[in-house]
Amino acid sequence: MICAGIDAGSRSIKAVLFDTERGEVLASGLAAQGVAQERLAAVLFEQLLQEAGLDRPRISGIVATGYGRHAIGFAGTTVTEITCHARGVRRLAPEARTIIEIGGQDSKIIRLEDGGRVRDFAMNDRCAAGTGRFLEMVAARLEMNWEKLAELGRQSRKPALISNICAVFAETEIIGLLADGQPLPDVVAGVQNAIATRVAALAGRLVSPPVYFTGGVALLAGMARALEEVLACPVQVAPRPQFTGALGAALAAAAPNPPGGGRLL
């Protein structure tokens, strides 16, 4: 049986084709998000079918998740990203007990029971200061891409302190730090630490190791280290972290209620 998962996130659309008999991903891909979400998702889906040498009748089920999941009309059903990230990470790292997901417009802490079921979670979807959007704002202000941002962060010797909890005011604070002569690498590292601090505040008592980091922001070198420092425990980056939601959606399409697979929230 082959199932598809589509994660219509706020910044990009991710899709996965999963073969349940072989237990492996046949194809995966992503596309930038836009106004015509369903059309963009459909084009990406067709591209993956071609890549895998399949036609649509071979797909047994399609589940959509993420910010724009309700716009994906060709999906058979929708499942929240909480459940899908839990299933996706659990498939890749069965030992995971806490998942940190930082996406374009929100961040989440998900705690799992021993069997992999979602025990509880916390989400920040009201402030950009703990999300990928904040990093995008900083990168745009500094006129550089994420790769350059990560490279600078690694060069820091003493991260700057960024105290504002609002992304708009924090951006002003960053400009002030640079105007005062703070080294750029220290400012970038300070931004990473500020995001990690927001996430740690969101986590509260939800963090139990092993901790896995997922979502697009997990690709930014230095963020896992920043999380480790504020949480005082190791943080592992999930394999291909931007696709865990789509993988979890495909797994939900394959088996809506497998033993220990996590409830549909």
Asked whether the domain spanning 95-238 has the same topology as the one spanning 1-93+243-265, the reply is yes
Position 10 scores a pLDDT of 83
Which token pair is 70?
Answer: 């309700």
pTM for this prediction: 0.87
**H or E segment to which residue 194 belongs:** helix 184-203
Is residue 149 within 8 A of residue 136, CB to CB? The reply is no
Whole-angstrom Cα distance, residue 111 to residue 93?
14
Position 127 scores a pLDDT of 64
Give Cβ neighbours of residue 12 (< 8 Å, ≥ 6 apart). 30, 31, 32, 33, 104, 216, 242
Is residue 235 within 8 A of residue 218, CB to CB? The reply is no
**H or E segment to which residue 42 belongs:** helix 37-52
Whole-angstrom Cα distance, residue 216 to residue 214?
7
High-pLDDT (> 70) share of the chain, %: 92
CATH 3.30.420.40 is right for the domain spanning 1-93+243-265: yes
Domain boundaries along the sequence of the chain: 1-93+243-265, 95-238
3-state secondary structure of 216: helix
- Tens digit of each residue's pLDDT (9 = 90 or more) over 190-235: 888 888 888 888 887 778 999 999 998 898 878 898 999 999 999 9
CATH 3.40.50.2300 is right for the domain spanning 95-238: no
